[in-house]
Structure 1
């Protein structure tokens, strides 16, 4: 059964059975005790066995994997002697095939993920959202999916949040309260993410996990080195990215059970950053992924200073252990020593708790899973030295390695295709244009109504003026008529006419009375007087 040589301890070779390498592991120890060198040696071993590797290069010195070590280098001089001491007869200086990656695209190929791939849970962790804000974020993702809006970058998410804020009243009746205060808090956190460089991480082309799982033309697994020195200044982004990477592997890779060798091995340096101040929901997610990803053929190795940095639910999944020296200067250190000692399968020949504080640089307590799956008894082991350079590469060397690897430039040029930001922007522009048009129409209608009212008012005023003029003309005519009637000539004619009429009337009346009543006697009676009065009045009128 294929094995990966770790070192020699107790007079025996200590090896990692490759069939059990997907049962995860832990490399722990205080600063300067050799954790990184052990990690480098293990990465070399996996690569030589045809297993692709991912490592986060926190200090920049793991980049030396790409270059063969040299006996002329001061740090490398003891390595040949150590290899001879532990009986590693095949040991020789050699380089390892690598690919450089960088979330910021400065020291390697850009690594990108879309907002949709990250998901609301990890984004909420990344932004430190509370439960209410996380709920609003989940609603934004749900509506984007329902409405066919792609969430690719931070602009898309900000546009989606602005849209649900505008529709808060309608959305709240279906999905629960969406307050503008919560949306504003998320928007402020997104602004902080931009300040941390997350804008370069979110977008396309997104990382294809298959590019992490290549071998070179000699069958050696490619070691993918993530430049994390700058990323460490944004620990929340670092932790979220690593967890996203694990989640993507879990969702992408098929079930394979326990293959003869892992399909991929992860080394997470500064692993405590994954768990510091992490909410319970996120810890549960990490534990679930670590537990289940084993069946996908992926091994996960956490590298940290103290074993108690790893939550118990996760630590219980780590079957392969390399424990470098710990210092028991503080109560926390002492608890770490006891915890580390208790996790090993005991060996009557070793007082583990005491040995942990006495280990030399490059020496470790090692317990690996055996072929039958049981942990081997702990042994005090001299760890195999790496074959590659211990230390960083120069910028020129890094540039050449990046330019000549198999990835090429497929990730170097960002892509900005139509997504939520563009679609919602167009929708908002259409709404604004429609609102402006409606406002213009309303203004025109108002102007028309005002003009009509003014026209009606003018017509009424003209009619009033015409009637007033007519009345004035009638009044003037009446006045003129009165004036004419009041002249001396008119008065004389009127008086003569009235006199004549009166005389004629009396004469006619008298004659009619005689005709009616007969004699003069009869004409002097009461009836004759009445008749004469009527007839006389007629003529006078």
Structure 2
């Protein structure tokens, strides 16, 4: 029979770290925390991605908050996707509570209320630092995948980008891209056909309709200038804490295409911008994607392939991706297989489908001599989770039912006044919140079309040179008679008679 001492030794050995680590909580046995059996996450493996899952109300958001603030304290910047609007409290210290003190006494670590440096970002009309990207930065491949285009349509998008590059036409926003498409099958049809081949009006019509669909989800707010520089996500404050960048997304929950468009653009830009880092003591940046099912549910096969590829490659840049969702089955298996840390809160077995999901979830965890994983998944309390991570050598740690520590910051939203103060003190608001609409493809092509139309009109209005026949008809009648062939022949006949 395994004793509590055996269990403590089992946990201490499995979660031992030599380098810097985050203390997530204390391991539990038979429903009770074993004091000082700390579940620790090595910083150097935090770029191996992760998952926070569980039913509504089980504590997923608080787990996200705990990880974010502990990463910040270790000097690791964080980007949070806040779809429910309940993470701004990170900017204020926790007011504390007797139940928090009781929880931490069971864990065996002190509770210290703290605030963290926060930057509020916005993808829509909400207040905060505006995030934008140009169509050119998006590129033809990513744009085609977001629009779920056919191979032929992808070729047309590639030609449009090539034409704009060749003719120095900046593609900044969606109206630029739409204008070039219209020009390719309208006024500029002959120009396109000559240099790039014939472009089908039917295909461009389909692409335009898909762009309009994207615009209806608010994408025109995202595409444009000034482009957000991803290096601004990696700032450290004067106390050595990493900034927690909170992207407010409460008004786009019903616009999943815009959300996935932004996410892919951001990940692609980070991958292209950040240098290869390899193994290091801590990550460069950690991203938490709340309500992750919004990315995957309506994603096309091409889009899922792109996500899977980025997840596999981006960790070499020192970037960790953490998906937060209700059920692990919300995440495709190809992505789930790449996730090193799993924080699994309770699941509910209300239906046959729920029971099937619980069985599948249990199979994703290492076997344990101390837990019936399937049974534990339905008996965890609020603020408790099954945890499996990677140790410093990249090996899976023992499965640990964990009593999670409480957030050090406020577990509630900021007031409007507090939020305005945070945004008002930002160094990035002035840098990014001025909307720029410089001359781009839309204006340049409009000017080109207007000049061509004006030239054509001038040609139409220009008086035509009279023909020879017209000039002859307008000659003086006397001259006309004197120069006529009949008159000349008569004169010559008279001269001949006189000479005789």
When normalised by structure 1's length, the TM-score is 0.80
What is residue 117 of structure 2 aligned with on the other side? Answer: 97
- Structure-2 separation of matches of 1:107 and 1:268: 20
Instruction: Indicate the RMSD between aligned Cα atoms, in angstroms.
Output: 2.4
- Equivalence map 1:443-482=2 (5 Å): 444-445=463-464, 448-449=465-466, 456-457=472-473
What is residue 434 of structure 2 aligned with on the other side? Answer: 413
1:364 aligns with 2:385: yes
Q: Residue deviations 1:31-61, cap 9 Å, x none?
A: 1111111001100010000000000111100
CA contact under 8 A between 1:47 and 1:222: conserved in structure 2? yes
State the Cα distance separating 1:459 from its structure 2 match.
5.1
1:182 aligns with 2:203: yes
CA contact under 8 A between 1:60 and 1:391: conserved in structure 2? no
- Structure-1 separation of matches of 2:450 and 2:259: 37
What is residue 32 of structure 1 aligned with on the other side? Answer: 57
What is residue 44 of structure 1 aligned with on the other side? Answer: 69
CA contact under 8 A between 1:126 and 1:237: conserved in structure 2? no
1:67 aligns with 2:87: no
- 1:3 pairs with 6, 15, 21, which one? 21
- Structure-1 separation of matches of 2:156 and 2:99: 58
- Structure-2 separation of matches of 1:350 and 1:146: 64
What is residue 395 of structure 1 aligned with on the other side? Answer: 416
1:255 aligns with 2:273: no
Q: Residue deviations 1:152-180, cap 9 Å, x none?
A: 11221122212222344664576565211
Q: Residue deviations 1:439-491, cap 9 Å, x none?
A: 223xx21xx448x766644559999999xxx9xxxxxxxxxxxxxxxxxxxxx
- 1:376 pairs with 360, 378, 397, which one? 397
CA 1:127–1:254: 2 relative to 1, 3 Å: same
- Structure-1 separation of matches of 2:198 and 2:326: 44
1:386 aligns with 2:407: yes
- 1:289 pairs with 284, 292, 310, which one? 310
1:404 aligns with 2:429: no
State the Cα distance separating 1:394 from its structure 2 match.
1.6
What is residue 141 of structure 1 aligned with on the other side? Answer: 161
What is residue 534 of structure 1 aligned with on the other side? Answer: none
1:213 aligns with 2:231: no
1:156 aligns with 2:176: yes
CA contact under 8 A between 2:147 and 2:211: conserved in structure 1? yes
SS of 2:408's partner is coil
What is residue 108 of structure 2 aligned with on the other side? Answer: 87
1:230 aligns with 2:251: yes
- Equivalence map 1:496-511=2 (5 Å): none
- Structure-2 separation of matches of 1:229 and 1:163: 37
- Structure-2 separation of matches of 1:105 and 1:190: 20
CA 1:173–1:310: 2 relative to 1, 3 Å: farther
Q: Residue deviations 1:184-232, cap 9 Å, x none?
A: 2322333333332221211111001111000111000000000011122
- Structure-2 separation of matches of 1:239 and 1:319: 23
- Structure-1 separation of matches of 2:353 and 2:136: 40
State the Cα distance separating 1:128 from its structure 2 match.
4.2
SS of 1:99's partner is strand
CA 1:173–1:432: 2 relative to 1, 3 Å: closer
Gapped regions of structure 2 (runs ≥ 5): 1-18, 29-33, 487-500
- Structure-2 separation of matches of 1:309 and 1:175: 43
SS of 1:302's partner is strand
CA 1:77–1:168: 2 relative to 1, 3 Å: farther
- Equivalence map 1:117-132=2 (5 Å): 117-132=137-152
1:106 aligns with 2:126: yes
- Structure-1 separation of matches of 2:284 and 2:374: 35
CA 1:346–1:460: 2 relative to 1, 3 Å: farther
Greater gyration radius: 1
What is residue 322 of structure 1 aligned with on the other side? Answer: 343
Return the structure number with greater helix share.
1
Gapped regions of structure 1 (runs ≥ 5): 471-541
- Structure-1 separation of matches of 2:481 and 2:351: 106
CA contact under 8 A between 1:344 and 1:377: conserved in structure 2? no
CA contact under 8 A between 1:345 and 1:377: conserved in structure 2? yes
Q: Residue deviations 1:377-408, cap 9 Å, x none?
A: 11111111101111211221111101112324
CA contact under 8 A between 2:217 and 2:257: conserved in structure 1? no
How many residues are aligned here? 459
- 1:428 pairs with 436, 449, 456, which one? 449
- Structure-2 separation of matches of 1:374 and 1:421: 54
